[in-house]
Amino acid sequence: MLSVFINMGTILLGGMLGLFFNRNFPSHIADTVMKGLALCVLYIGISGALEGNYILVTIISVALGGALGEWLDLDGRLNRLGQFLEEKFGSKTALAGAPRKSLAEGFVSASMLFCVGAMAIVGSLQSGLTGDHSTIIAKSLIDGIAAVLLASSLGAGVLFSAAAVFVYQGSIVLLAEMLEPLLDSATVAEMSCAGSLLIVGLALNMLDITKLKITNYIPAVFLPILLLYFFKS
């Protein structure tokens, strides 16, 4: 779990720096920075999506994963959690002189960016199976920089995404040994592909091109474990 705590620490540090810079950021500059970050997120997502080799598995995973997430109302649940945090901490985390930002929006956007990517999955599996924390440490540096930019644009909700990282990546680390027999290189590649497609969707949302409920597609990241078992049988 060491890697998970390192990742949380960089997000918190980056988020606090972003909140500090937020006080001196004109809104038009913050918007430009946010759009630039969205383009970088889009690049990361496209790069990771190219790792997959089973197109049919990806299509089925995204379709079924989206349907399952919609049925479970994952997006609604995460947004309600964000609204709860907004009600409890929104006024306390607002900075004097800074424009009011939606704490819920920052929490949801940052949680999705930090959790659903290929590095989060592969790095957590490596930490749990071999004790190799190098991938998550590299991810932590990227997340820390992203947290600065996100917090400067979206506000204090980004800080709370560290808790989502703890639950998501921590669960993968703890379950990695149990899932090891099912996690060959092909399966991990397909999981990374599905996760990267969600990052593409997140980037499109950040650019105000779409309004996808990305959280509802999270089950798609894990469905390749089941689908490839049947494809290889």
- pLDDT tens digits for range 90-130: 555 554 444 445 677 788 878 877 887 667 777 787 788 77
- Confirm if 52 and 201 have CB atoms less than 8 A apart: no
pLDDT band at 31 (very low <50, low <70, confident <90, very high): confident
- CA 78 – CA 140 distance, rounded (Å): 23
> Can you tell me the mean pLDDT for 60-71?
94
Domain coverage including residue 127: 2-231
Query: Do you know the residue count of the chain?
Result: 233
pLDDT at 34: 74
pLDDT at 25: 62
Cβ-based neighbour number of residue 4 at 10 Å:
26
Domain count, the chain: 1
Query: 168-205: per-residue pLDDT in tens?
Result: 888 888 887 777 777 787 888 888 888 888 888 888 88
pLDDT at 99: 42
> Can you tell me the mean pLDDT for 4-12?
91
pLDDT band at 68 (very low <50, low <70, confident <90, very high): very high
pLDDT at 179: 74
The average confidence (pLDDT) of the chain is: 80
Q: Which two tokens stand for residue 171?
A: 């669960």
Handedness of CA 230, 47, 177, 69 (dihedral sign): negative
Nearest to 59 by CA among 224, 216, 179, 201: 224
pLDDT at 97: 43
Rg of the chain on CA atoms, in Å: 17
- Decide if pLDDT at 8 tops 70: yes
**What letter would DSSP give residue 101?**
-
pLDDT at 118: 64
- CA 107 – CA 155 distance, rounded (Å): 9
For residue 61, CA distances in Å to 113, 159, 217, 228 come to 19, 30, 9, 10
- CA 201 – CA 42 distance, rounded (Å): 8
- CA 220 – CA 208 distance, rounded (Å): 23
> Can you tell me the mean pLDDT for 33-50?
81
Nearest to 33 by CA among 152, 208, 155, 210: 152
Residue keyed to tokens 């500059």: 29
